[in-house]
């Protein structure tokens, strides 16, 4: 008989699930797990803040499709996980939160006398897909299976397993616990039925002006090629959702920018719209003025998550299935019918692309006309995109910085453009970049962030320096919460709470063991990027951008962003 601790059994369960990284901080309550990780090929990545550890897991998943685990010490450490866990829930990120707890006799429930006493299960309940405790050694493997089953059921997301310290330290016979591989207890992803494939093919084959909208789920499912091939077969516009930028590169001949006039025209004219991997949320302005009269349209929606179906637009056909499998099935069915693009579809595509390009150039006017010596953030974003190109992974953080990045950075490979557009959580960019580089060590990872967002988790660059993770971060620095200024100025002719003061992010970075650069002229940027790359260390460029230029978002974009929260505005 060989006895093993609860920590060793936990490590075996993590390894069976393919977990390669645990992000967290040491704690006596969880030390038996940490002591066992290395033997199972699992790397512990210490962090400066637990929430940032979740964002690292987020970046790793978005770049690789692999789940990770995070840990929280009793009380404060576990509570610190929550901002990251809430983000993971909104972003569809599978992560296991292992929350440690003191001995059961003072924890369930915790009286006022308990040190670090907190009902952690109740605190996590609204943030996770499932959460539960393990109260005895003999149930560890079973509870872990429950957690991972729920993690991957439907749209992936965070789950919680709570472990009191005595359970981590308890020992038992290893033969008494069966650690199963996922294939032995979890089903494969749901697939569309033949009838559903046939019904979708009938609708698309009979459409005169079909449109395809590809959401983030297309990128996560690895279905970008299927979406592109289907749009080519139908000769129709292919629109990324607002959060699905990586699902459709702008170089695709069927691409139409979904947030602009071209995308609105394409949807309004469509008689059949296929939405894949998107919940059609408020970011996509699901209003008739942008999508057309639902009475004259038929909507096909494909998503892995049943609760996403028909939320904002009425359905004709809803298919709960793996997006890659379903799109591939529809493509094969239409191909077997020798489907050809309808002339009206090709004409609609040409009109939408023409309208979209005219709108884009109109919006770009102020950017193209900028001649001041100070740095326009759009100009800087163009230099960054040209320097790193389409092969880099970009993590984007901040308010207006994210808007410029979406519009200016180059098209990317799949799983290579990570935004915060599901929840809008600031501070994800730097730790997400670190997680992305951990998962993709042979690719360049670039974080572009506003200075407000950078401040939340900037200390994680010390984690990157300590762990030897060379990410490049460009901080667009103006010393202001610039995105908040236009509303205050319009209503009150002054700002309040927006001034941050000047921070030399490059000098802070140097103090953390990183390479630092300061840039206040655009011609300095490329040499700074070159030196940052050559340093082979985590690097930070403090980029002094012009505040007036930053807040001068093109009016068409600004109006649409306002409608996300305010609802459809009347036509001017």
Where would I find the beta strands (DSSP E) of 284-434? 298-303, 317-320, 393-397, 417-418
3 state SS of 328: helix
3 state SS of 545: strand
Where would I find the beta strands (DSSP E) of 422-467? 445-450
d(CA 276, CA 381): 29
Phi, psi of 450 (to 5 degrees): -75, 165
pLDDT at residue 564, rounded to an integer: 85
- DSSP state for residue 106 in the 8-state scheme: G
pLDDT at residue 533, rounded to an integer: 98
Distance between first and last Cα of the chain: 79
For residue 200, give the nearest of 314, 310, 315, 346 by alpha carbon: 315
- DSSP state for residue 375 in the 8-state scheme: B
Residues 322, 420, 517, 546: is their CA dihedral positive or negative? positive
Q: Is 357 exposed, middle or buried (0-12, 13-18, 19+ CB in 10 A)?
A: middle
d(CA 543, CA 550): 13
Q: What is the dihedral of CA 357, 358, 360, 364, to 10 degrees?
A: 130
The number of C-alpha atoms within 13 Å of 346 and in the hemisphere containing its C-beta is 6
CB 192 within 8 A of CB 302: yes
pLDDT at residue 421, rounded to an integer: 79
Mean pLDDT by 10 residues, the chain (572 residues): 94 98 96 97 98 98 98 94 97 97 76 76 95 96 98 98 96 94 95 98 97 97 98 98 94 95 96 97 91 95 97 97 98 97 96 95 87 93 97 95 93 94 89 98 97 96 98 95 86 90 96 98 97 98 94 82 84 66
3 state SS of 462: helix
pLDDT at residue 468, rounded to an integer: 97
CB 446 within 8 A of CB 440: no
Which strands sit side by side in the sheet containing 317-320, from one edge to the other? Answer: 238-240, 210-214, 272-276, 298-303, 317-320
Per 3-state DSSP, the chain is made up of helix, strand and coil in percentages (nearest 5) of 50, 15, 35
- DSSP state for residue 340 in the 8-state scheme: -
- Within 10 Å of residue 536's Cβ, how many Cβ atoms? 10
CB 90 within 8 A of CB 423: yes
CB 189 within 8 A of CB 304: yes
């Amino acid at each position: 008989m060989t006895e093993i601790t609860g920590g060793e059994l936990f490590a075996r369960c993590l390894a069976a699930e393919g977990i390669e990284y645990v992000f967290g901080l040491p704690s006596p309550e969880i030390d038996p797990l940490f002591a066992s990780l290395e033997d199972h090929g699992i790397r512990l990545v210490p962090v400066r803040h637990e929430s940032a550890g979740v964002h690292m897991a987020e970046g790793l998943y978005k770049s690789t499709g692999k789940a990770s685990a995070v840990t929280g010490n009793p009380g404060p450490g576990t509570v610190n996980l929550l901002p990251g866990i809430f983000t993971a829930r909104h972003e569809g990120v599978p992560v296991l939160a292992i929350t440690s707890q003191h001995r059961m006799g003072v924890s369930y429930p915790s009286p006022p006398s308990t040190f670090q006493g907190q009902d952690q299960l109740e605190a996590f309940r609204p943030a996770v897909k499932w959460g539960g405790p393990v109260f005895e050694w003999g149930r560890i493997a079973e509870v872990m299976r429950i957690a991972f089953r729920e993690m991957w059921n439907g749209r992936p997301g965070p789950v919680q397993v709570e472990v009191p310290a005595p359970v981590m330290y308890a020992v038992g016979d290893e033969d008494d616990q069966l650690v199963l591989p996922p294939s032995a207890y979890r089903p494969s992803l749901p697939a569309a039925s033949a009838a559903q494939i046939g019904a979708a093919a009938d609708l698309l084959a009979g459409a005169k002006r079909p449109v395809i909208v590809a959401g983030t789920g297309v990128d996560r499912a690895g279905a970008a090629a299927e979406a592109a091939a289907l749009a080519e077969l139908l000769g129709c516009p292919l629109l990324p959702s607002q959060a699905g930028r990586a699902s459709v590169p702008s170089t695709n001949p069927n691409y139409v920018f979904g947030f602009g006039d071209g995308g609105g025209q394409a949807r309004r004219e469509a008689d059949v719209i296929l939405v894949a991997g998107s919940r059609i949320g408020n970011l996509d302005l699901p209003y008739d003025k942008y999508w057309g009269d639902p009475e004259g349209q038929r909507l096909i929606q494909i998503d892995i998550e049943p609760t996403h179906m028909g939320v904002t637009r009425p359905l004709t056909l809803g298919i709960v299935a793996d997006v890659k499998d379903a799109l591939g099935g529809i493509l094969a069915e239409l191909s077997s019918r020798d489907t050809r693009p309808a002339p009206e579809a090709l004409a609609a595509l040409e009109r939408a692309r023409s309208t979209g390009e005219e709108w884009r150039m109109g919006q770009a006017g102020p950017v193209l006309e900028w001649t001041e010596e100070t740095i326009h953030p759009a100009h800087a974003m163009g230099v960054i995109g040209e320097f790193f190109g389409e092969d880099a992974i970009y993590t984007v953080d901040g308010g207006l910085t994210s808007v410029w990045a979406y519009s200016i950075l180059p098209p990317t490979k799949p799983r290579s453009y990570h935004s915060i557009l599901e929840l809008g959580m600031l501070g994800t960019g730097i730790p997400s970049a670190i997680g992305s580089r951990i998962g993709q060590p042979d690719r360049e990872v670039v974080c572009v962030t506003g200075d407000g967002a950078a401040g939340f988790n900037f200390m994680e660059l010390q984690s990157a320096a300590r762990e030897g993770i060379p990410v490049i971060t460009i901080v667009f620095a103006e010393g202001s919460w610039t995105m908040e200024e236009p509303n205050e100025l319009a209503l009150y002719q002054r700002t309040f709470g927006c001034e941050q003061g000047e921070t030399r992010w490059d000098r802070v970075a140097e103090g953390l063991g990183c390479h630092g650069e300061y840039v206040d002229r655009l011609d300095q940027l490329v040499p700074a990027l070159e030196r940052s790359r050559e340093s082979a260390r985590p690097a930070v460029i403090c980029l002094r951008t012009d505040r007036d230029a930053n807040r001068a978002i093109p009016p068409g974009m600004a109006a649409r962003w306002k409608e996300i929260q305010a609802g459809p505005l009347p036509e001017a």
